[in-house]
Structure 1
Amino acid sequence: MGPEGIAYVTKPSPTPRERIVAGAADMISRRGLNATSIREMAKHARAPLGSTYHYFPEGKQQLATEAVRYTGAWTSRALRKELAAGPVAGLRAFLALWRKIVVDSDFRAGCPVLAVSIEEPPTEETPAALLAAADVFTEWETLLSTSLREHGAGPEQAEQLATLIVAAVEGTVAMCRAKRSTEPLDRTAEQLQALILATIEK
């Protein structure tokens, strides 16, 4: 897989910094955070280690944080675009996005946001990457809950269902990798769509 990662970069000519961040997101999605060094991230992005430290002087933690934010923004853009057609369309796009990643990587890649969330333990001073992951999950939930409310769901119900969607999709991506099958994602898609339709049709 190239330095752009799996579909993370859609611009024809990403900047060197964007290429490094996208490469870090891809590597974290495959190997996790703790098993990945900044040297390996730079190599994966085909970037000199010196330029990587130039862009990320604080090292691995800074690069991991940027990778999480980058993934969050990239996913949110796709989600926001599809949610214009309603929550079911948004759900399908969200699922299709992660389905493509696990399939295109031959089940080697998952979600770097989830990987960081699992591997970064909260401490007295919560790591920046973990804070960024929390922000990303919140943004995805907010986008979904806003769409659900706009289509007739009550505020509390919309928030609960949005959290369920994000949690289910993230967990299902991990299951797909373990089972080397998209069946968990396909099953989850059916149930989540049914829940959305039952919620907005009331």
Structure 2
Amino acid sequence: MYVKSEPEIYEVAVLAVGGAILASEIAFNEPAFGAIRPPGHHASPDSSWGFCYFNNIAIAVKKLLVEGRIKKAVIVDFDLHFGDGTANAFAGVEEVKYHHMKGADIAGIEQFLKENEYDIVAVSAGFDRHKDDWGGILETEDYREIGRIIKEYAEEKCEGRRFAVLEGGYNHSVLGKNVRAFVEGME
């Protein structure tokens, strides 16, 4: 679907991108979380699907790079679904490294953050891996631990600069507490 052909969707999708950009700018002073929808990690530069119209995290990171505010970034994606749009947006771009968590491999996030150099940590925060959501894998406390790991490495390697934007998470009875646990860990 061509996004501009649906004015209501286009307007909301543009606002979501703006929220991600704002979160990335706030990250230079304090950790930030963009509770935005629609999500974005399935949107590629030339296509969109999966309710993702624009790649919020990719646009925010690209803007920081183009403006010269950062030279390198890492993107951690812990959504249940692979962020094909994010991977496509930065394919062959040495300045940006993308990591999609597999299964319940929280240690893989830590290893990724440990072995790379970066000026900011951007997070595609999907909560659909939760045991009461589609994935049926993670506990709420696992999200707090992911947030803690991101905080630790951001403080150690990039002056604390970190931000996240909401991707998946479809069971509204647990989404709020999962987001809260992650944000508390990342603070």
Query: TM class by shorter-chain length?
Result: 0.3 to 0.5
Structure with bigger helix share is 1
TM-score, L = length of structure 1: 0.38
Which structure has the larger Rg over C-alpha atoms?
1
TM-score, L = length of structure 2: 0.40
